[in-house]
Amino acid sequence: MERAIELAKGSPPTHPNPRVGAVIVDTAGSIVGEGRHDGPGTDHAEVMALDQAGEAARGSTLFVTLEPCSHHGRTPPCVEAVVAAGVRAVVVATLDPDHRVSGEGARRLAESGLEVSVGNHEDEALALDRAYFHHRRTGMPLVTVKWAMTLDGAVAAADGTSQWITSEETRAEAHGLRAEVDAVVVGAGTLRSDDPRLDVRRDGYDGPQPRPVVVAGNSQIPSDSKLWSRDPVVVSTEKRPIPSGELLIVGGDDGWPDPAGTCRALADVGLLHMLLEGGPTLAGSWWRAGVVAEGFAHIGGKVGGGAGQSPMAGVFATIAQAEQVEFVSVRNVGDDVVVGFRKKS
């Protein structure tokens, strides 16, 4: 199972499908087949491993990080392929919360006479693709918010200047966060003021780039932004021309797309993990709407000493409005501190 998990970790982005690794061990205890899922339309990990094993799969044990599928999608059910190959036993790290599977794959394997066990290295398997499991359980993508702020809580000065609150090392870590998600989300105001690229820029990085997302509503967006060369998604409350990319229409109040509706629409186009980078108006509205699950506060070694811009716009009227979070990490990075947190369920 450790090898299957290693294979899954090495897969390219697979969303909206999950990352899965599979290993086939013959009756002598040797690995005879390996596979990983590389994305929609490609073979599932189990099928790839079975093809590699060939006749050696008969009487073997299949180790797989996620319950084999039992439904027809872009590819046939993996359960049928496993049974047809003559596999004797299947060891599953965790069940698939997808309503089309959700224990059905394991049940059909057992009914076909295979030995089935579930729960081997389950925590590691769940950590392989937190966004997939979050989406299948809640119907919503995993939204991670990130901001950089001074020690006294300002993400920008009163005049809007913010470069640079944090150190070069911390900014490099922020790019590492971008490398882990499907999309980086900003509002129209950030697009107009900063003209960001929303890509991963780290020395030696040659992996996949997140898709830029602009939540624009009916706000003005510049036609000469750097983002137009990167196939962005624009979320609007109305049909409008855009230079390139994909336009999603989401209803909302006061010309602002509904946060939950926006998240569902983005998940429908395969974006299951999003890094919300703001600005404060967008961050505040998404936080109050309850769509943010976790976040990182990058705290620079600076004190503003006065009224600047806070990470979230809106009125914090009474302490009763504050939501409880759980700190999951506190680390020194360069001259700064990075605090990881998640909402308490």
| Residue 46 annotated among the catalytic residues of the structure | yes
Residue 18 is classified by DSSP as P
Q: What residue has token string 């979320």? A: 235
Question: 2, 6, 34, 46: which is the annotated catalytic residue?
Answer: 46
- List the one residue out of 312, 315, 309 whose CA is nearest residue 295: 312
142-149 vs 89-92, strand pairing mode: unpaired
The C-alpha angle with vertex 257 and arms to 143 and 193, in degrees rounded to 5, equals: 80
334: left (phi over 0), alpha (psi -120 to 50) or beta: left
Grouping H, G, I as helix, E, B as strand and the rest as coil, residue 322 is coil
- List the one residue out of 76, 72, 61 whose CA is nearest residue 26: 61
How far apart, in whole angstroms, are the C-alpha atoms of residue 101 and residue 72? Answer: 11
Q: What is the chain's pLDDT, residue by residue, as a tens digit (345 residues)?
A: 999 999 999 888 899 999 999 999 999 999 999 999 998 888 999 999 999 999 999 999 999 999 998 876 666 788 999 999 999 999 999 999 988 888 899 999 999 999 999 999 999 999 999 999 999 999 999 999 999 999 999 998 888 877 888 998 998 888 989 999 999 999 998 898 888 999 999 888 888 899 999 999 888 899 999 999 999 999 999 999 999 999 999 999 888 899 999 999 999 999 999 999 978 999 999 999 999 999 999 999 999 888 888 999 888 889 998 899 999 999 999 899 999 999 987
- The pTM for the full model equals 0.89
